[in-house]
Amino acid sequence: MTETIKIDVWSDIACPWCYIGKRNLENGVAATDGDEDAPRVEVTYHSFELAPDTPVDFDGGEVEYLAQHKGVSEAQAQEMLTRVTGVAADAGLEYRFDLLKHTNTVKAHELLHFAKENGAQHALAERLMSAYFTEGRHLGQSDELVALAADAGLDADAAREALESGRFFDAVQADKAQAAAYGINGVPFFVIDGKYGVSGAQPAEAFSQIVRQVWAEHQAPVDAE
Residue 124 resides in a domain: yes
Query: Residue 9 belongs to what domain range?
Result: 5-51+104-219
Residue 72 resides in a domain: no
pTM of the predicted protein model: 0.94
What is residue 225's predicted lDDT score, i.e. its pLDDT?
Answer: 46
Domain harbouring 138, CATH code? 3.40.30.10
What is residue 191's predicted lDDT score, i.e. its pLDDT?
Answer: 97
**Residue-by-residue pLDDT tens, the chain, 225 positions:** 558 999 999 999 999 999 999 999 999 999 999 999 999 999 999 999 999 999 999 988 999 999 998 999 999 999 999 999 999 999 999 999 999 999 999 999 999 999 999 999 999 999 999 999 999 999 999 999 999 999 999 999 999 999 999 999 999 999 999 999 999 999 999 999 999 999 999 999 999 999 999 999 998 876 544
Residue 170 resides in a domain: yes
What is residue 220's predicted lDDT score, i.e. its pLDDT?
Answer: 81
Residue 165 resides in a domain: yes
Residue 129 resides in a domain: yes
What is residue 177's predicted lDDT score, i.e. its pLDDT?
Answer: 98
Residue 213 resides in a domain: yes
Q: How many domains does the chain have?
A: 1
Cα 79 to Cα 49: distance, rounded to the nearest angstrom: 24
Residue 127 resides in a domain: yes
Smallest CA-to-CA distance from 4 within 217, 222, 223 is with: 217
Residue 224 resides in a domain: no
